[in-house]
Structures are given as C-alpha cells and as structure tokens.
Amino acid sequence: MKQELLNRLLRYIQRDTQSEENSKTYPSTKKQFDFAHLLKKELNDLGMDDVGVDKYGYVTASLPSNIEKDVPIIGFLAHMDTAPDMSGKNIKPQVFENYSGEDIILNKDLDVSLLVKDFPEIKNYKGQTIITASGDTLLGADDKAGIAEIITAMEFLIKNPQIKHGKIKIGFTPDEEIGHGVDHFDVKKFGADYAYTVDGGAIGELEYENFNAAGISIKIQGRNIHPGNAKGKMINAILVASELNDMLPIEQRPELTENYEGFFHIIRFIGTVETAEIHYIIRDHDIKKFEQKKVLIIDVINSANKKYNQEIVKYQLEDQYFNMRKKIEPVLHIVEQAKQAMIELGITPDIKPIRGGTDGARLSYMGLPCPNIFTGGHNFHGKFEFIPLESMEKAVQVILKIIEKSTK
C-alpha cells in the first residue's frame, strides 16, 4: 500500500492545479479540468462505477455495496486545487527515507531548510519517509494526499472483495482553496447519507467545527489637494484607512489568537491620497461573537463617515460560510465512528476546531453532514510543507475502518 500511495502522490503533485481567485470561470482554471479527467480515467481503470466529470469539474464515482443488508451510504471527498498562496508549478518532490530527526535541506542554492527549531513536530517522524517540495514551491499534499488516500482505499476494497462494505461514493472538487469548492455540487445526485472530507493536517486530526466566516471590502474616497494648500481641505484616504484599522481590537488579529478565538484579518490594502481599498476576513466559531464582529466593523466605518461629515467610506459585507457544528451535532455518531476507528488503529484522535473553512462546512449546510479527517500533512500553502508517508498510510486505514464500522 505504501508504494501505491507514494506513486500516486508524486504523480498528482507534479500536475499544476492551482485555482485562481479572480477568474470568472468554474472551475477557475482549465488545468483543474485536465486533472479531473486524468482522475476519471484512473477511476475507470480501477473498476469504479458511475465515474464521471460534470461541466463544473466535479469528479464522482461509486463502489457498489457487496452486502445484502441496508447500511448507510458513505461519501469521501477531497479537493483537486492547490492554494494560490505560493507557486504550484513545476513542483519537484523530494523523498527522504528513514528520516534522521535532524534539519532537512530543501534547497541548498536557495538556503531553504526545514529546521527542527522552527518545526519541532517533524522530530515525531524520525525513521519515517518524509515527502517535501524543493524549497521554491508548495508541495500540494493539500489536498492531493487526500485524493491519493481515498483512491488507494477504493483500490484496496476492489482488490479484496471478501471485505464487506456498503455503497461508497467518492467526490473530488475544484476551487476549494478560493472558497468555491461546492458552489455547484449536487448533494442529492451524489447520494451519500453522510461523508468525510479527507483534508486535515497531522495524523489524528478529526474536526467537526470551523469558523463562521465573512469578508468585507471597504472603499475610501479621499480628497487630494496640493500639500502646500491642503489645510482644512485634504482628506488622505491612506490615513483614513489606517485610522479604521487602528480602531479594530489589536488583540483580535490572527497572529494573536488561537483555539476558539476569532479575528479580523486585513488581507489587502491598496491606497493613494485620493482613494484607498482595504479588505478583511472576519472569523469566529461562536455565532454571537461573529455577529458582534460584523456590527463592530460597520460601527467603525460609520464613525469615520461621521467624523468627516460625509460618506467617504463605503463597504460590501458578505457571509462566506458557517460553523458546521450546528449541522453535525444531530448526527454526532459519525464523528464518534471516525474517533473509534482511529482508536482501534492505535491513533490518538486530536479533536479540535478548524481555524479555517472546509468544503465539509458548506456541504453540511447543504444537507450532507461532513466532518473532516487527517491527511497527515504539515505546513500547507508554503515551501515548508511536508507529509510523512506513514501518516498517509494511516489515513487509508482510517477510511477503511470507518467503512467497516458502518456495516455493524
């Protein structure tokens, strides 16, 4: 199983599938469509049923039940795109077998290394096989590791028909990294009773809570006057934007928060004296605190307009997704099922809230309860991304154990 996993991951990550935030198409990039058709061929070759790629780039397939009694139809999902945060082109994977527990040089020429002092968790994988990129791209294990793990689990069941299971559905989505992963996903057609996204991090992660999320775009109209004659006339849009930012609570910035603490995160600032734009994402696990944050930032904007006695600041606020806990709690047994699967495999479950979002959050609100389980990866979205092959193998085993437990 290890070799199949490794071969799949190495093959997948060398395909550039980055999504594009400003694209007007769906999926946002053609290269995701190309990858979808590659996966379709692979699933057909394995002998999966109902294999297809629809016009939106969703890959879906089924594995028929081989038992007579009725059991739940389980789905497993992962996303095909990689994050736009760093280049996903020309990825050169590196495989470090029997990892020594010391620093890993990723790129000697660029002086890029995975340092134990910066990433002490890597020492937990001494003696294992570590997969990285080459110091100038992300690796793409988020979430091609999830795809490799799901397909490897399906291949194992196909090759071992004596293992009893109910009907299984799998799905691979585009554009998750830009927040549009399930915009056109047909939950009813997919046909699962519940599902799991295989999109988590380190071994043992099991998540059924995530942020409530909103985004706000703020535009400021200043007044540019020659600085020699500016007194009482100039309104510097850059300074107004800075004033707005300073009025938000400093302690509610992402770099100062953890666990269940929410934040305001400024992600873009473009400005001149005449005009400025600032963009924030707003996050909180608690729905009441989330709503309070939205009220607070609007109050800040209104106070600026009041100060200048005119509407120089305008905004557009949009909710993005909500905490899936509300939808998972009525079917909490699906979390317990995954938890017990890990325990039976000797894995310590690490149940914690996602400080981000997932396709599963939106799917849960669309009628498909969908917790998230680990892939085994670390440091997603950057050049220090790595994944232990043994953690990937454990992820496959968890998928198979969940399937087994669903038949009891």
Could you read off the pLDDT of 362-397 as tens digits, one per residue?
999 999 999 999 999 999 999 999 999 999 999 999
Q: Is 176 a catalytic residue?
A: yes
Structural domains of the chain, with CATH: 2-209+323-405 (3.40.630.10), 213-320 (3.30.70.360)
Beta bridge partners of 196: 76
| pLDDT tens profile 333-348 | 999 999 999 999 999 9
Q: Using alpha carbons, list the distances in angstroms from residue 232 to 73, 225, 228, 229.
A: 69, 10, 12, 9
What is the pLDDT averaged over residues 45-68? 97
* Residue 13: partners with Cβ closer than 8 Å, 6 or more residues away: 91, 93, 133, 139, 140, 141, 144
Percent of the chain residues past pLDDT 90, beyond the cut: 97
- Do 112 and 377 meet the contact criterion of CB atoms below 8 Å apart? no
pLDDT-derived band at 67 (thresholds 50, 70, 90) equals: very high
CA distance 323 to 319: 12
- pLDDT of 132 over the 90 cut: yes
With pLDDT > 70 as the criterion, what percentage of the chain qualifies?
100
List the structure tokens of 389.
């092959």
Give the pLDDT confidence score for residue 290 in this predicted structure. 98
CA–CA separation, 183 and 366 (whole Å): 10
d(CA 380, CA 145): 11
Residue with tokens 């917790």: 371
9-46 residue pLDDT tens: 999 999 999 999 889 999 999 999 999 999 999 999 99
Q: What pLDDT, on a 0 to 100 scale, did the predictor assign at position 115?
A: 97
Q: In the block, which residue shows the tokens 């039940």?
A: 65
Cα–Cα dist 20/29, whole Å: 6
> pLDDT band at 212, cuts 50/70/90?
very high
pLDDT at residue 356 greater than cutoff 90: no
For the chain, the C-alpha Rg in angstroms (whole number) is: 23
Q: How far apart are CA 152 and CA 76, in angstroms?
A: 12
> Is 226's pLDDT higher than 90?
yes
pLDDT, position 358: 84
Cα 17 versus chain centre, distance: 14
Task: Say yes or no to pLDDT of 85 above 90.
Answer: no
The reply to whether 85 belongs to the active site is no
- Residues in a beta bridge with 265: 281
Could you tell me which residues come within 8 angstroms of residue 372 by beta carbon, excluding any fewer than 6 positions away?
196, 197, 198, 199, 200, 205, 206, 207, 208, 354, 358, 360
Joined tokens for residue 370: 């969908």
Give tens-digit pLDDT for 266-313: 999 999 999 999 999 999 999 999 999 999 999 999 999 999 999 999
Vertex 23 angle, CA 18 and 25, to 5°: 100
Query: pTM for the complete prediction?
Result: 0.90
The predicted structure's pLDDT at residue 144? 98
Give the mean pLDDT of the chain: 96
Distance from CA of residue 349 to its chain's centroid? 19
Q: Considering the candidates 42, 143, 149, 176, report the single residue annotated as catalytic.
A: 176
Q: Nearest CA to 143 among 174, 170, 169, 122?
A: 174
Residue 170: helix, strand or coil by DSSP? strand
Q: Is pLDDT of 1 > 90? A: no
Q: Identify the helix (H) or strand (E) that includes residue 395.
A: helix 389-405
- Give yes or no for a contact between 392 and 131, defined as CB atoms under 8 angstroms apart: no
Cα 5 to chain center, whole Å?
A: 21
Question: From start to end of 337-405, where are the E strands?
Answer: 350-351, 372-374, 386-388
3-state secondary structure of 118: coil
At residue 150, does pLDDT exceed 90? Answer: yes
Catalytic residue among 81, 155, 385, 393: 81
Determine how many CB atoms are found less than 10 A away from the CB of residue 28. 22
Tokens at 167, concatenated: 């009907």
Band the pLDDT of 4: cuts 50, 70, 90. Answer: very high
**Sheet holding 313-321: strands in order across?**
263-271, 275-284, 212-221, 313-321
